[in-house]
Amino acid sequence: MRLFVAHDPQIFRAILVFVPQQADARDIVQETAVALWQHFSEYDPSRPFINWACGYARIEVRRFLRKSQRRTKLSDKAVETLMDADQGEPDIYEERERYLDSCKANLPSEHRRMLDGYYVDDESVDTLARRHGRSVEAIYKALQRIRIALMECIERKVMEAGR
């Protein structure tokens, strides 16, 4: 349980890559926790816990996407490709987190406030729309554009690092 709690934020962020709705991602985190609990006897402590846990998270993401009507944005092949690319070296999560911090620092302050409001402070899109003087649809689109910009920035940094 201590390992899971210590890595919960990383697991949550890894799931958000594939399922950007926080409520859905939290549900998947819970399902992942159950799977990890059931299979903990299979965990090899000589290997990084986060990689093992994210393997189960990917299984739960696949299960969610199969059941979900919202998966029209990504094909099964696209999801598989993303998930396969996500399996990697133990330090990759820390590296990507550093890149995310760097990329986020380069965003306009309004975009950072929007991201923090949604992902850190757990504010609803309605609340963000009121605060930023925009429509709900505009906030959804802005968040989508910001996520894409961050993803592209991180990918550039990964390529520059030769990964």
Predicted local confidence at residue 105, as pLDDT? 92
- Do the Cβ atoms of 134 and 142 come closer than 8 Å? yes
pLDDT value for 71: 44
And the tokens for 65? 């996407």
* Domain boundaries, position 55: 1-88
Looking at per-residue pLDDT, the higher value among 90 and 65 belongs to 65
Per-residue pLDDT, 133: 94
**pTM exceeds cut of 0.95:** no
**Cβ-based neighbour number of residue 125 at 10 Å:** 19
- Joined together, the tokens standing for residue 3 give 């390992």
pLDDT (tens digit, 9 = 90+) per residue, 13-53? Answer: 888 878 878 888 889 999 999 988 888 888 888 888 888 88
Q: How many other C-beta atoms are found inside a 10 Å radius of the C-beta of residue 108? A: 9
Residue 163 pLDDT more than 80? Answer: no
For residue 92, what pLDDT is reported? Answer: 64
Residue with the larger pLDDT of the pair 16 and 126: 126
Residue pointed to by tokens 């990383």: 10
pLDDT at 120: 77
Domain count, the chain: 2
Instruction: Clarify whether residues 63 and 76 are in a common domain.
Output: yes
> What CATH number is associated with residue 104?
1.10.10.10
Whether residues 74 and 108 share a domain: the answer is: no
Q: Are 35 and 48 in contact (CB under 8 A)?
A: no
Judge if 69 and 143 occupy the same domain.
no
Specify the pLDDT at position 80: 61
- pLDDT tier, 110 (very low <50, low <70, confident <90, very high otherwise): very high
What percent of the chain lies above the pLDDT cut of 70? 84
Largest CA distance in the chain: 51
Q: With helix as H, strand as E and coil as C, how does the chain read?
A: CHHHHHHHHHHHHHHHCCCCCHHHHHHHHHHHHHHHHHHHHHCCCCCCHHHHHHHHHHHHHHHHHHHCHHHHHCCHHHHHHHHHHHCCCCCHHHHHHHHHHHHHHCCCHHHHHHHHHHHHCCCCHHHHHHHHCCCHHHHHHHHHHHHHHHHHHHHHHHHHCCC
Q: How confident is the model at residue 81 (pLDDT cuts 50, 70, 90)?
A: low
Mean pLDDT of 102-125: 88
Domain boundary among 67, 88, 109: 88
Percent with pLDDT over 90 in the chain: 17
Last residue within a domain, chosen from 24, 59, 88: 88
